[in-house]
Structure 1
Amino acid sequence: MGLFTVDEAKAELTALMPVLDEIVALRADAAELAASRADGGSPSPLGGLPELKAAQARLDELMTAVQDTGAELKGFAPLLVDFPADLDGVPVLLCWLEGDRALEWYHRADIGFAGRRRLP
């Protein structure tokens, strides 16, 4: 996949929001179902092993859907999605973190999340 412009990445993030929202919901369900299966775990009203396996399979599908756009899913809890881009000739990743209102951050590709800055 190629590089995103800032506008393309913002549009792609908007299109991905229903997918990302579903990942967040399924992530919580899968965590509850997994905890209920552990020794001493309380039964979950969400179900048992079949529901856990279904949630895991759906999460795999959704994560693949994110990656298929050219975006990079870098974190699962919290969700972290990067969009490869170029700002003024510098390779960067436009960076969305679960809880961000919009795509407003970037970091240089060679520095990583610690170098996260607001988009100009």
Structure 2
Amino acid sequence: MLTFPPMDAGPRFFTVEEANALVTSLELEFGRVARVRAELGPLIDSLGGADAAVELLQEDGEAPPGREADTERLRALAGEITAAVERVNELGCLVKDIDQGLVDFYALMDGEPVFLCWQFGEPAVSHWHGLEEGFAGRQPIEGVTVRPPPFMN
């Protein structure tokens, strides 16, 4: 019997309603990220700044003498942020900017792929932009029809 590796399913496409159904989960995840980042900033400064923190986060990064607990806390906080981003991505969304809390959702508009766009703090997904345009090209969804894809999602 022949077996074949699974085909890449490709990105998930959303309707506006499906994207909006995830806003509560996104708010929770980015709320966690904001709390972690509030603790992370002073910790990074105390460890010598961003470059030093990146070195500590590398596999072979060694904690400075007497700073082992701070280094472990840094790694734990970085892990929490990574886990939050992974949970959001597992929903089928794309985290575009963790600092601004930007998330995109693939969608189809007039048969063409676009991104529905949400930013942390917004009550709903209310904007879209082309795949190459980014946040600066955001346009209101109002008056635009976003249809479900004509294929299994």
**Other structure's SS at 2:96 match:** strand
- Using CA pairs under 8 Å that are at least 6 residues apart, name the structure with larger relative contact order, 1 or 2: 2
Q: In proportion to residue count, which structure has more strand?
A: 1
Partner of 2:21: 11
Aligned-pair Cα RMSD in Å:
1.7
Report the number of matched residues. Answer: 113
Percent of aligned pairs sharing the same letter = 33
Please tell me the residue identity of whatever aligns with 1:2: R
**Structure 2-normalised TM-score?**
0.67
Partner of 1:78: 100
The Cα offsets for residues 58-78 of structure 1, whole Å up to 9 and x where unpaired, read as: 111111111111100000111
**Other structure's SS at 1:32 match:** helix
Gapped runs of 5+ residues in structure 2?
Answer: 1-10, 50-68, 143-153
Q: In proportion to residue count, which structure has more helix?
A: 1
Partner of 1:87: 109
Q: State whether residues 23 and 125 of structure 2, in contact with CA within 8 Å, keep that contact through their aligned partners in structure 1.
A: yes
**Structure 1-normalised TM-score?**
0.84
Which of 1 and 2 has greater Rg? 2
Moved over 4 A (4+): none
The 5-angstrom pairing of residues 77-116 of structure 1 reads 77-116=99-138
